[in-house]
Amino acid sequence: MKRDIIAGNWKMNKTNAETKELIKELAPLVKDAKCEVVVCVPFTDLDTARRAIRGTNIKLGAQNVHWAPKGAYTGEISAEMLKELKVEYVIIGHSERRQYFGETDASVNARTKAAINAGLKAIVCVGELLEEREAGKTAEVVVRQVNGALQGIDKSGLKKIVIAYEPVWAIGTGRTATAKDANDTIAIIRKAVRKLYGKTAARALRIQYGGSMNAKNASELMAMPEIDGGLIGGASLKAEDFAKVVNY
Ligand code: PGA
């Protein structure tokens, strides 16, 4: 049985002190969660978060990872470094990375391989821009991104991957995809995965929705048959809001 996964993407928010505070507040509110609960924090907060989640059901995630094991890559962080901090999940290819930091399908693929080879679980993000949606290109774009991200990864690698479908126009805008639209696009993603890995693997894969998901719309989204979780930005920055999503 696969378990739903709700992950908070804190983005570039929270200092160490704030991290400690937020997790302390969050832990008792999510302790009976039926889903997996993850917080993906800035690199500088990982160690603080690692300590703060001890003895709780909250899991630790990072927001990026480099593809090389080490070397002259100023400003980057390796999978081994994350492993040492007990990081379990890492977000890869978030649309903000694609948009502002030149992330491509090829770099997403390289980072994903490095992550899973090191024993991390990857949350791989895909999603179309507004103009792509309006041009009727949603399916084409997400399938291209999925095929690109998964290139050269075998069935056992897929087991360490979660896909997050995040329509870019819904991120941080307060504009959510309708539950039906989200469900339909996730079904398209799953079909692309089925083509690559077969029925059983595609069914077992967890695919999250992300983009202005919050306490109000979480239960409707999570009720959809194709949606196996959420990647939550803004609403993950307040314990009460995030807990409501987790306990949808
Ligand atoms: P949002 O962000 O919930 O603030 O829209 C989601 C994300 O970017 O992962």
3-state SS class at 56: coil
Query: Ligand 1 centroid vs 233 CA: distance in angstroms?
Result: 3
Is the predicted pLDDT of residue 153 greater than 90, yes or no?
yes
Does residue 119 line the site of ligand 1, with CB under 6 A? no
Residue 136, SS3 per DSSP: coil
The tens digit of pLDDT for each residue in 187-213 reads 999 999 999 999 999 999 999 999 999
Does residue 174 carry a pLDDT above 90?
Answer: no
pLDDT tens for each residue of 74-114? 999 999 999 999 999 999 999 999 999 999 999 999 999 99
Nearest Cα residue to 164 out of 134, 140, 136, 185 = 185
Token couple for 206: 């967890």
Distances 144 to 42, 96, 118 between C-alpha atoms, Å: 28, 18, 25
- The domain locations on the chain are 5-239
Q: Which atom of ligand 1 is nearest to the CA of 235?
A: 3
CB 125 near ligand 1, within 6 Å: no
List strand residue ranges (DSSP E) for 5-152, in order: 5-9, 36-40, 58-62, 89-92, 121-126
Ligand 1 close to Cβ of residue 210 (< 6 A): yes
Active-site option among 36, 94, 103, 132: 94
Global pTM reads 0.98
User: What are the φ and ψ backbone dihedral angles of 92, each rounded to 5 degrees?
Assistant: -135, 135
CA of 125 to the centre of ligand 1 (A): 11
Answer positive or negative: Cα dihedral of 127, 132, 136, 140: negative
Q: Is 164 left (phi over 0), alpha (psi -120 to 50) or beta?
A: beta
Atom of ligand 1 nearest to the CA of 234: 4
Assess whether the C-beta atom of 229 lies below 6 angstroms from ligand 1. Answer: no
**Is the torsion defined by CA of 94, 223, 24, 86 positive or negative?**
negative
Asked about 166 being catalytic, the answer comes back as yes
Ligand 1 atom 6, closest CA: 233
Fold exhibited by the domain 5-239:
TIM Barrel (3.20.20)
Looking at 36, 96, 128, 166, which residue is catalytic?
A: 166
Predicted local distance difference test score (pLDDT) of residue 1: 79
Measured in Å, residue 174 CA sits from the centre of ligand 1 at 9
pLDDT over 90 (residue 40) = yes
> What does the chain come to in residues?
248
Q: Is the pLDDT of residue 177 over 90?
A: no
SS3 163: strand
pLDDT at site 164: 98
Report the alpha-carbon distance of residue 230 to residue 209 in Å, rounded.
5
Tell me how far apart the terminal alpha carbons of the chain are, to the nearest angstrom.
Answer: 19
Which helix (H) or strand (E) element contains residue 138? helix 138-150
The answer to whether the CB of 221 is under 6 A from ligand 1 is no
